[in-house]
Amino acid sequence: MPSLALRPDEAPAAGVRRVALDALDDAFAHLRGTSELDPDRQIHEARKRMKELRALAVLLRPTLGKAAAKEQGAAFRDTAKPLAGLRDAHVMRGVVGALAAQVPEASAEIFEAALGHHEEPDDPGEARAAALATLEAVAPAVGTWGRDAPGWDGIGVGLERLYAACRRDLAIVALGGSGEQFHDWRKAVKYLMFALRLLEPAWPELQQPYERALDRLAELLGDEHDLGVLIETLDATLAAHSGAPWHLALRQAARARALALRAEALALGSRIFAEQPRAFIRRQQRYWVVWTTST
């Protein structure tokens, strides 16, 4: 796994470009099957690189320009899209399995109905090829990132925007947000987490616990999202399985668990994002200045 950390002797935006190019190389290796990992792990790691690259594009949006950042971020999203089925079927099986243990009527029928919308692609190789073609098209643009953005401002404005977006999304979901709004919050949290890993060397003892808290928050929101997908699938099969005793029980168990995850995420998020954006970004800048001038 390539490092997401900046170096003290490089301009932040130039460091982001270096990190992004390393992530691209790693993604290409996984998609081409030339890494040493097993096929399932290659898909998992390739999708992680796409999330990291998309987060870096969002971070550099003030430098790249809104249109370019949006276009390139969408390309990374589209690269990961053909691979989603390879991941979703595996994840949903785990989600259903955990909940089915709470339902006395659990049977193989549950898996057939609840997983019916999450079949793996018939040809994983075709999914890889589609992802690879999309990534190859956007790769040259990454080599131009951050060339005209010296100093802290190369990432400072974008970092403040990311943090502010997390606070804004928290305020929205705290009022009773939809599943989509919780999912948007998760994406913003992941983007901020990847961005802060760039600055981790400035003060690891402080930054690492904060990153772990962000990671935990993203995990809670990810589990909540998976349960939401399961509930939608169960609702889609309602007509066919409304008479089955397990159907409502499984849906109720999924809903209860999702609500518990939302409550835990809101409590954690309120602590993580207690600081005002301006105070947060000034603190991060001071860490960076001290680190780069004393190393």
User: How open is the CA angle 98-100-106, to the nearest 5 degrees?
Assistant: 155
Q: Per-residue pLDDT tens for 265-290?
A: 999 999 999 999 999 999 999 999 99
Q: Is 103 left (phi over 0), alpha (psi -120 to 50) or beta?
A: beta
Quote the crossing angle between the two packed helices 66-80 and 39-59, to the nearest 10°.
Answer: 170
pTM reported for the whole predicted model: 0.89
Decide if 6 is inside a domain: no
Could you give the number of structural domains in the chain? 1
For residue 267, CA distances in Å to 138, 218, 262, 273, 275 come to: 39, 13, 9, 10, 15
- Our CA dihedral for 124, 125, 130, 131, rounded to 10 degrees, sits at 70
Query: How many whole angstroms separate alpha carbon 46 and alpha carbon 175?
Result: 35
255-269: b or e for each residue (b if 16 or more CB lie within 10 Å)? eebbeebbebbbebb
Decide if 36 is inside a domain: yes
Contact by Cβ (8 Å): 173, 37: no
Contact by Cβ (8 Å): 204, 220: no
Q: How confident is the model at residue 105 (pLDDT cuts 50, 70, 90)?
A: low
Stretch 241-261: mean pLDDT: 79
More confident residue, 241 or 33: 33
Decide if 2 is inside a domain: no
| Strongest mean pLDDT among 38-42, 141-145, 151-155 | 141-145
Task: Identify the CATH number of the domain in which residue 199 sits.
Answer: 1.40.20.10
Decide if 7 is inside a domain: no
pLDDT computed for residue 120 by the predictor: 52
Answer yes or no: is pLDDT of 115 > 80. Answer: no
Give the pair of three-digit tokens for residue 63: 């430098």
Decide if 4 is inside a domain: no
More confident residue, 148 or 176: 176
The whole domain housing 284 covers 12-294
Q: How confident is the model at residue 26 (pLDDT cuts 50, 70, 90)?
A: very high
Q: How confident is the model at residue 230 (pLDDT cuts 50, 70, 90)?
A: confident
- Our CA dihedral for 283, 285, 289, 291, rounded to 10 degrees, sits at 70
Stretch 141-157: mean pLDDT: 88
Answer yes or no: is pLDDT of 237 > 80. Answer: no
Give residues with Cβ within 8 angstroms of 92, minimum separation 6: 114, 115, 118, 226, 229, 230, 233
Query: How many whole angstroms separate alpha carbon 112 and alpha carbon 243?
Result: 16
Decide if 99 is inside a domain: yes
Decide if 3 is inside a domain: no
**What percent of the chain is modeled with pLDDT above 90?**
58
